[in-house]
Structure 1
Amino acid sequence: MKTTLEKRKINLVQNFLALDNTETISKVEVLLKEEKARIYEESISKKMTHSELGKLLEQSEKDFENGDFNSISEVKSMMKNW
């Protein structure tokens, strides 16, 4: 019988909640953090088509014209919370 992704997630959470070892929990936290970083890196490393890049640039120009952007100092301030 094939287990659905939803059931697997529930099972994983139940098993995690049953853990009583801080070292094991720390290892799971590190693994999740590394996996999220890997997935993020994969998503930003994918090449854009010329059309996709053009649309992104057009939207960026519209955002700038409408004042919908952050200054360097605002970005630096936000980075402190990352």
Structure 2
Amino acid sequence: MRNNLHSRKINFVQDFLRIQNEAVIRRFEDMLRQEQLKLAEADLSYPMSLEELNTVIDQAEKDDRNGRLTNADDLKKEIDNWE
């Protein structure tokens, strides 16, 4: 089943790349944004359990202790250098 989905995505992308009509591409872009928003909203509608929250907090504290965090100022500087 997974291979079938992968093949379908490849076929879709190939078909999409052949589209020459800007209005059609714009409709696909709009549809994609709408679907991404729906998925994001669905993720927010299912709050994590207390156990999941504690796991996330524990991981964040471990990342902090091991120097795997980036402060906001450094992140802004890094983003400014993106091209």
TM-score range, shorter chain: 0.5 to 0.7
Aligned length: 78
Q: CA deviation at 1:79?
A: 6.1
Letter in 1 for 2:57: L
Any stretches of 5+ residues in structure 2 without a counterpart? none
| Residue 54 (str. 1) matches residue 51 (str. 2) | no
Q: 1:38 — aligned with what?
A: 38
Q: 1:64 — aligned with what?
A: 64
Any stretches of 5+ residues in structure 1 without a counterpart? none
Q: 2:27 — aligned with what?
A: 27
The structure-2 alpha-carbon separation of the partners of 1:75 and 1:37, relative to structure 1 and needing over 3 Å to count, comes to farther
The structure-2 alpha-carbon separation of the partners of 1:5 and 1:27, relative to structure 1 and needing over 3 Å to count, comes to same
Give the superposed CA RMSD: 2.5
The structure-2 alpha-carbon separation of the partners of 1:23 and 1:77, relative to structure 1 and needing over 3 Å to count, comes to farther
TM-score (normalizing by structure 2): 0.67
Higher relative contact order (CA 8 A, sep 6+): 1
TM-score (normalizing by structure 1): 0.67
Q: 1:74 — aligned with what?
A: 74
Q: CA deviation at 1:14?
A: 4.3
